[in-house]
Amino acid sequence: MELHTVEKTKQKNMDIIKLLLKEYEAEFNTTKKFLALVPADKFDWAPHEKSMKMKSLTVHIADLPRWVTLALTTDGLDFETAPYTEPSVESTDDLVKILEENYVQGKADLEKATEENLNGRWVLSMGKQVLADYSKYETIRHSLSQTSHHRAQLGVYLRLLDIPIPGSYGPSADDQNF
């Protein structure tokens, strides 16, 4: 009886990881389509003075899959001791390369993960100020949510620049004859 319970627990663990991997891959593929459309000559453009510049927004989007690795290989991130440095990007290809590298590493780390890993604590801080206190699973989910959130922002940027937008979770208005 105990062996059956252990097997059910292993199956549950694999289901969670398989689901995360499936979602992670889908978000990567959609995000790659969006980043491939970003015109490098518009890197300094923003739709509003309070908005991020196109380059910073897209580098952040390309960097988000790295948070899967951060969640699974660290117990947190302190911006006071490890300030964020935006990767150098000169072209659209550079953006896509950053996204691909981060995705490949995150996927490899997620494939090696166990449910025990997902239950571990992960803290984002700025010195003594705690910005987020999540399980590692919640950190991964948060990074996926951040990806779709910021990709939607990018969709607005692209729309305002009159660049056709690919579908994310189905066809976009540009994918159909409306």
Instruction: Check residue 147 and give left, alpha or beta (phi > 0: left; psi -120 to 50: alpha).
Output: alpha
Q: What tens digit of pLDDT does each residue of 126-149 get?
A: 999 999 999 999 999 999 999 999
Q: What tens digit of pLDDT does each residue of 12-57 get?
A: 555 899 999 999 999 999 999 999 999 999 999 999 999 999 999 9
Q: What tens digit of pLDDT does each residue of 100-127 get?
A: 999 999 999 999 999 899 999 999 999 9
Q: Do the domain assignments include residue 77?
A: yes
Compare 6 and 90 and report the one with higher pLDDT. Answer: 90
CATH number of the domain bearing residue 59: 1.20.120.450
In 3D space, the residue among 109, 119, 16 whose CA is nearest the CA of residue 8 turns out to be 16
List the domain range (segments joined by +) for residue 69: 2-160
Q: Do the domain assignments include residue 171?
A: no
Query: CA-CA distance, 154 to 120, in Å (whole number)?
Result: 32
First and final CA of the chain: distance in angstroms? 59
Burial zone of 105 (CB within 10 Å; 0-12 exposed, 13-18 middle, 19+ buried): middle
CA atoms within 13 Å, Cβ hemisphere of 107? 15
The total number of structural domains in the chain stands at 1
